[in-house]
Structure 1
Amino acid sequence: MGKNLVIVESPAKAKTIENYLGSDYVVLSSVGHIRDLATTGPGGLGVDVEDHFKPNYKNVTGKSKVIKELKQAAKNSDAVYLATDPDREGEAISWHLADVLGLDVDLERRVVFNEITKDAILEAFKHPRAIDMDLVRSQESRRILDRIIGFKLSKLLQSKIKSKSAGRVQSVALKLIVEREKEIQKFVSEEYWSVHAMFERESAKIEAELVKKANKKISIANEDEVKAILAELSDPYVVEKVEKKNKSKQPKLPFITSTLQQEAASKLGYNAKKTMTIAQKLYEGVNIGSETVGLITYMRTDSTRLADNFVDATKSFIKQNYGANYVKTGSTNAKKVKNAQEAHEAIRPSSVARTPEEMKPYLKRDELRLYKLIWERAVASLMKSATVEATTIEVRSNDYLFRVNGQVLVFDGYLRVYSYEETKNASLPRLSEGDTLALVDVEPQQHFTQPPARYSEAKLIKEMEELGIGRPSTYAQTMETLKNRGYVTLEDKKFKPTDQGILTSEKLAEFFSEFINVEYTAEMENNLDEISKGQKVWYDELKVFYDHFMPMLEDAQKNMEKIAPVEIGEECPECGSPLVIRRGRYGEFVACSGYPTCKYIKKETKEEAAPVSTGVKCPKCEKGEIVEKKTRRGKVFYGCNQYPSCDYALWHKPVDKKCPKCDSLLVVKGKKNEIQCPNKECDYKEE
């Protein structure tokens, strides 16, 4: 009898799960997707538009060894279980695996779990199901849609304005950044003033701000108006109102993907990519001495729901450690989020008993900081609100009213746990209505209105989430794409569009305004959600899009002005044509305007040392060799010496050996100069 085979997409996850399932199971990894759309057919789309957008898939480059291993393992197994991630992308990977391995997609062999703990895994294997083809079609539709828009628009922009790419979500995010920059450029600052007074009674002092004149909100435009106000202020200054109220400060909901990225940015200084990389590690499994266990639930989610067993365990934990009066009462389920996948949970610790303090010996500094943030947020969400006593004092002089607000924390509630929020005590002296105060000082302050702030990563993600653009799995990648394409730069950790980014956005707005906009992108996300629920036919939605999109593309191909390369005033030494500035993968370079007839490229004028060879043959073109190079900023990387005809490149020094798992070229990496696989989805490392 053969063993049961379980296939997951992550090598790290495979190790953790195999420990839980025991000797009757073998757990292998597909190392991510094994297939993607081909680049053959009309337009290189890998899609037969005429036959209901039928996709043509090919195996991912470098995955032949993995596929062969999986086929052999499946052949020798009694049963094959597909345990990829619990989202549309994971469902699609399971379907591709079933198709390639010749498995029956209707068999109930799809296993889904939101956390990688022994109990959760064993329970999930008691309830396998068939592959959900509606989820697969939704993912497939998104991939085809993005391929059509990405290929068609990218090719257009490359030929017309030398921009590197465009995308359904990426280009709308860029549009938001560019529109904000234009708001900033158009902004005209206006002067305004505020007046602050210091009052005293029996050695007690309060500072209040002028807020009203004749019971109407006051607006002070200039210094002359300030002087007129000061001339009208006079004794007596009488306390007109003292109001005290208890106010509740509610705990925030547990994290979803977007809020985790936002809070990690503001509280820890992590960008979205770093946050998701660390969260992936915490989810897939950490060695905590006696076992390897996933410390958090699945980190790509838009649901704020918490499992009942976690709620019960956490309430007991709160009662035991902080007291029964800290336990939240009533409904604890979070708000309904539009289009959230309700089978998912919020991002939470897999066990409330694994406190950050207890996990400290097993986690790296950055991992511990993110885990602490997730643990505290989830626990705090099940605690009672904090209570503050808020005091408002109003002081009148003639027609003018001054106001000061203060507050005192009377019950810390969830703040007892959530250390990332503070409620400052600002106590006020005891005063009664009718008390007369002495004016100690009055200070006018000049201000100027400020333009809207540029988007930080966190603010842009929040905006995209609120507008319904993209999904949890896309936010981090969108941020990286905008930076890598040279469409934005970061100034003070905020996005500023480059000239190329502005040009790209303007041209897309000019010719594709009906597609590259917030409303259409959000509507398409809704359509994809409806496809995932079986409420819409996937190829019908693609046809509606395609029939509308293609005429616009044809118009742009005819009428979008082509920007000519900038001539440098020199002739090509080989053919006499003007030399021009071109843009390549690694920045600008000077080449012949007669390309592709003439392929002359001007070398840097400064003397450079001969490239240092690594002795490794290029795995892509199999003609050149990998040499050490430097970016324009001096950072070392390794690339093929046949560039630009071959653009293979690595950030780490390669060795003349391929990864036995995924066939990638191995590199020297890390502080200990270990030989590792550079593929982020593969964990191979030589001992």
Structure 2
Amino acid sequence: MSNLVIVESPSKAKTVQKYLGQGFEVAASMGHVRDLPKSKLGVDIENDFEPVYVPMKDKEEVIASLKKAAKKADKVYLAGDPDREGEAISWHLAQLLDIPMDAPVRVTFNEITKTGVQNGMAHPRSIDLDLVNAQQARRILDRIVGYKLSPFLWKKVRRGLSAGRVQSAAVKMIVDREKEINAFKPEEYWSIEAKMTAPSSKKQFDATFVGMDGAKTELHSESETNAVLARLEGAQFNVTGVKKSVRRKSPAAPFTTSTMQQEASKKLGFQTSKTMRAAQQLYEGVEIEGMGAVGLITYMRTDSLRVSDEARASAYKYIEEKYGKNYLPASPKVYKTKAGAQDAHEAIRPSTPELTPERVKDSLTPEQYKLYKLIWERFIASQMANALMDTVSVDIDANGCAFKATGYSVKFDGFTVLYEESKDDEENKVLPEINPGDVLKLKNIEGKQHFTQPPARYTEGSFIKAMEENGIGRPSTYASTISTIINRFYVERDGKQLKPTGLGEVTTDLLKAHFKQIVDTKFTAQMESSLDKIEIGEKDWVGTLKDFYGDFSDTLTKAETSMEGKRVKVPDEETDEVCEICGKPMVIKIGRFGRFLACTGFPECTNTKKIIKPTGGICPLCGKKILAKKSKKGKKYFGCEDNPTCPFMSWDTPVSDKCPKCNDGTTLFKKGGKMFCLKEGCGYEVAIKKEK
């Protein structure tokens, strides 16, 4: 008997094939095989939003191959990813391969391990039409917004623009944050910091002024601060109270999609798309030396914190063998999944905890290794005992002025021996032995001026957290949403920060004025909630689309009427560049292919040029700046700014380190695990220190 199992990718197919063995052929659909047509709406709005699906142009050969394989097979199993998209792909395949919708052919794998695959194959079910309808509703909703709203933006702002149900709300969040920053007015405040010693030790410690005459006191000016300092002249600093306690510090929960993306952004500097790409590879299977293809993590799109008993037992075994019984918790750690989360999958964890990062390191790419190490350590730590901190709080009085000093030290390191969240990285702050009644010796005291700070721009990590808190998008869409708003030039990266472009600000203001619901975070969150209810069968997908479309269509008609004959100008971004042809200033504009420099003398002067950023490196041939460039095929390389006069170019990346052998500021380059000098006759190279 022959069985055909259809998964989504070749790497997943290879891993699953290994566990199924003879009698099974595993093929890949390469993702979706059908979709709405690109050239038209593809949705019959008048006929209950009936979608018109067509085979995707680049999937014709794949479809033909799958049909041929299905005809030969006695049984076909549809094993797309265990989520809405995977269910929809399975539904499309069932229609193309003439498989009845009630046939038990749908199998899902939460992890691509022998156990995970065997469990999935042992429990086939029919296709879940609620899941399919939730995906269809999302796809049709996004298609309607995109196809109806984008032409409005073409007429009023610029051709080629796009609007989206989630992307437009996401851009508004970034635009609103920028407006907060620009409107922020800093306020002055002061602090008083004292350095003291106790009778028991010569080691200095810090104490901070907190109030006077029994009340908490805030200092808003230098004069207020000087008045307190004057009162403290010659004062005796007496210890009025010492409070000692033990603080328990609990480990963070294992990863969900959102927390994994946030932590990879903070700890590894990964962009969200890079994190999800590496996670997909780890889930689908990687060739491990001596083991073949192995799926290293559980499914990476989840907002559940649930952990299986088997995985917990494996973690306990490792913890006890590595650290000892006292590092096991008194009772199993159970983490509460937030309300409204989908609990179909476990938290993200290593599928085989015994496979430590070091065990598989040589078989992984650097990105895969770093992410696997992060996931593995986070999971193992989540199953470990709490850390215990000895804390001390000291109250000090000096002529009615109150100061406080705090200290802490690690009593038992617990889970922190392995992993801490990035925000928790801190050193011990140990106070000397201090007792009530001690008279402290003042070594130094000074007032310090401070100013309140504006809210920070979002990083990818903090933006994902904000989207999750606001209910914008879902774990499976965070990465694609960020990529979309950047690729469409509504948002740009400024270092690690996300900053709106002029185009993003103008478009958002236009949508806020005429399509308030589309950019409203609460409305977008309600829509996501409706889609979730369709998924569990609590809401009808056609009714949901009808409710949305009625208001949306009326709003679009009103907007087109009120904006008749009007256009919105995208502001140009000023630069210090001067046009080499006419001498006028150049500005940054956004065109179909991105940002470029244009002369303000247009139309008399039509000079334009690419924006090229210096790398900070110095050309080893002529000493001028090294610029990051792209070849005709889009591959990044580095070349001298004096091209074509200077022929220098390199595929290797310039770094901030300078060559110690040349000792003249010559830039070093890196490739693989080495840094080296490219200056003729030098030959210096050094291995890059590996991350611990």
TM-score for both structures, normalised by structure 1: 0.83
Cα distance in 1, alignment partners of residues 481 and 590 from structure 2: 25
Match of 1:637 among 624, 632, 643: 632
SS in 2 for 1:431: coil
Cα distance in 2, alignment partners of residues 377 and 564 from structure 1: 49
- Which position in structure 1 is the counterpart of 2:592? 584
- Which position in structure 1 is the counterpart of 2:300? 299
Deviation at 1:603, TM superposition (A): 8.7
- The answer as to whether partners of 1:409 and 1:423 remain within 8 angstroms in 2 is no
| Pairing 1:231–2:234 present | no
Deviation at 1:563, TM superposition (A): 3.4
User: Greater CA deviation, 391-400 or 126-135?
Assistant: 391-400
**What do the CA deviations read for 1:44-79 (whole angstroms, capped 9, x no partner)?**
321111111111101111111000000011111000
Cα distance in 2, alignment partners of residues 84 and 518 from structure 1: 31
Cα distance in 2, alignment partners of residues 394 and 220 from structure 1: 19
> 1:250 is matched by which residue type in structure 2?
S
- Which position in structure 1 is the counterpart of 2:410? 409
- The answer as to whether partners of 1:137 and 1:532 remain within 8 angstroms in 2 is yes
User: Greater CA deviation, 193-202 or 493-502?
Assistant: 193-202
Cα pair distance change 1:400/1:564, threshold 3 Å: closer
- Which position in structure 2 is the counterpart of 1:619? none
- The answer as to whether partners of 2:457 and 2:497 remain within 8 angstroms in 1 is yes
- The answer as to whether partners of 1:239 and 1:433 remain within 8 angstroms in 2 is yes
SS in 2 for 1:314: helix
- Which position in structure 2 is the counterpart of 1:37? 36
Deviation at 1:330, TM superposition (A): 2.6
- Which position in structure 2 is the counterpart of 1:475? 478
SS in 2 for 1:147: helix
- Which position in structure 1 is the counterpart of 2:325? 324
- Which position in structure 1 is the counterpart of 2:119? 123
- The answer as to whether partners of 2:502 and 2:571 remain within 8 angstroms in 1 is no
Match of 2:177 among 176, 180, 188: 180
Match of 1:171 among 159, 168, 173: 168
Cα distance in 2, alignment partners of residues 563 and 263 from structure 1: 39
- The answer as to whether partners of 2:166 and 2:524 remain within 8 angstroms in 1 is yes
**What do the CA deviations read for 1:593-642 (whole angstroms, capped 9, x no partner)?**
xxxxxxx9x99689xxxxxxxxxxxxxxxxxxxxxxxxx9842234xxxx
- Which position in structure 2 is the counterpart of 1:283? 283
Cα pair distance change 1:466/1:566, threshold 3 Å: closer
Cα distance in 1, alignment partners of residues 399 and 263 from structure 2: 47
SS in 1 for 2:519: coil
Cα pair distance change 1:212/1:110, threshold 3 Å: same
Cα distance in 1, alignment partners of residues 315 and 529 from structure 2: 34
- The answer as to whether partners of 1:583 and 1:589 remain within 8 angstroms in 2 is no
- Which position in structure 1 is the counterpart of 2:205? 206
Cα pair distance change 1:19/1:339, threshold 3 Å: same
Cα distance in 2, alignment partners of residues 71 and 416 from structure 1: 54
Deviation at 1:39, TM superposition (A): 4.3
Cα pair distance change 1:348/1:582, threshold 3 Å: closer
Deviation at 1:342, TM superposition (A): 1.4
Deviation at 1:564, TM superposition (A): 6.7
Cα distance in 2, alignment partners of residues 528 and 102 from structure 1: 28
Match of 2:448 among 442, 445, 450: 445
- Which position in structure 2 is the counterpart of 1:368? 369
Match of 1:554 among 537, 547, 557: 557
- The answer as to whether partners of 1:109 and 1:129 remain within 8 angstroms in 2 is yes
Alignment of 1:397-546 (within 5 A): 397-418=398-419, 422-546=425-549
Cα distance in 1, alignment partners of residues 540 and 354 from structure 2: 46
Cα distance in 2, alignment partners of residues 549 and 413 from structure 1: 55
- The answer as to whether partners of 1:193 and 1:444 remain within 8 angstroms in 2 is yes
Cα distance in 1, alignment partners of residues 129 and 371 from structure 2: 35
Cα pair distance change 1:564/1:340, threshold 3 Å: closer
Cα distance in 2, alignment partners of residues 563 and 501 from structure 1: 12
- Which position in structure 1 is the counterpart of 2:263? 263
Over the matched positions of the two proteins, sequence identity in percent amounts to: 46
- Which position in structure 1 is the counterpart of 2:581? none
Deviation at 1:586, TM superposition (A): 4.8
- The answer as to whether partners of 2:464 and 2:478 remain within 8 angstroms in 1 is yes
Cα distance in 1, alignment partners of residues 31 and 74 from structure 2: 24
**What do the CA deviations read for 1:342-379 (whole angstroms, capped 9, x no partner)?**
12011100111000111112112221111110000001
- Which position in structure 2 is the counterpart of 1:197? 194
- The alignment yields a C-alpha RMSD, in angstroms, of 2.5
Cα distance in 1, alignment partners of residues 299 and 130 from structure 2: 21
**What do the CA deviations read for 1:285-322 (whole angstroms, capped 9, x no partner)?**
11112321000111111111111110111112212221
- Which position in structure 2 is the counterpart of 1:90? 86
Deviation at 1:582, TM superposition (A): 8.6
Cα distance in 2, alignment partners of residues 605 and 206 from structure 1: 60
- Which position in structure 1 is the counterpart of 2:42? 46
- Which position in structure 1 is the counterpart of 2:686? none
SS in 2 for 1:637: coil
Q: Structure 1 stretches of 5 or more lacking a match?
A: 568-580, 591-599, 607-631, 639-649, 653-670, 673-687
Match of 1:68 among 64, 67, 73: 64
Cα pair distance change 1:519/1:565, threshold 3 Å: closer
Cα distance in 2, alignment partners of residues 99 and 604 from structure 1: 55
Cα distance in 1, alignment partners of residues 365 and 385 from structure 2: 32
> 1:563 is matched by which residue type in structure 2?
V
> 1:149 is matched by which residue type in structure 2?
V
SS in 2 for 1:197: strand
- The answer as to whether partners of 2:198 and 2:433 remain within 8 angstroms in 1 is no
SS in 2 for 1:125: helix
Cα pair distance change 1:197/1:223, threshold 3 Å: same
- The answer as to whether partners of 1:356 and 1:375 remain within 8 angstroms in 2 is yes
**What do the CA deviations read for 1:558-597 (whole angstroms, capped 9, x no partner)?**
2233237999xxxxxxxxxxxxx9932355699xxxxxxx
- The answer as to whether partners of 1:415 and 1:422 remain within 8 angstroms in 2 is no
Cα distance in 2, alignment partners of residues 565 and 306 from structure 1: 50
- The answer as to whether partners of 2:502 and 2:570 remain within 8 angstroms in 1 is no
- The answer as to whether partners of 1:467 and 1:522 remain within 8 angstroms in 2 is yes
- Which position in structure 2 is the counterpart of 1:355? 356
User: Greater CA deviation, 107-116 or 358-367?
Assistant: 358-367
> 2:197 is matched by which residue type in structure 1?
E
- The answer as to whether partners of 1:306 and 1:346 remain within 8 angstroms in 2 is yes
- The answer as to whether partners of 1:95 and 1:136 remain within 8 angstroms in 2 is yes
Cα distance in 1, alignment partners of residues 229 and 473 from structure 2: 54
Cα distance in 2, alignment partners of residues 565 and 16 from structure 1: 50
User: Greater CA deviation, 130-139 or 200-209?
Assistant: 200-209
Cα distance in 2, alignment partners of residues 285 and 7 from structure 1: 16
Deviation at 1:471, TM superposition (A): 0.6
Deviation at 1:113, TM superposition (A): 1.2
SS in 2 for 1:207: strand
**What do the CA deviations read for 1:1-43 (whole angstroms, capped 9, x no partner)?**
5x20000111110111111101100010010100111246xxx
Cα pair distance change 1:589/1:194, threshold 3 Å: closer
> 1:303 is matched by which residue type in structure 2?
S
- Which position in structure 2 is the counterpart of 1:149? 145
| Pairing 1:137–2:133 present | yes
Cα pair distance change 1:213/1:81, threshold 3 Å: same
SS in 1 for 2:165: coil
Cα distance in 2, alignment partners of residues 555 and 334 from structure 1: 49
| Pairing 1:79–2:75 present | yes
- The answer as to whether partners of 2:157 and 2:570 remain within 8 angstroms in 1 is no
Q: Structure 2 stretches of 5 or more lacking a match?
A: 573-588, 610-626, 637-670, 673-692
> 2:152 is matched by which residue type in structure 1?
L
Cα pair distance change 1:536/1:439, threshold 3 Å: same
Cα distance in 1, alignment partners of residues 570 and 628 from structure 2: 24
Cα distance in 2, alignment partners of residues 566 and 393 from structure 1: 56
Cα pair distance change 1:432/1:564, threshold 3 Å: closer
Cα pair distance change 1:398/1:589, threshold 3 Å: closer
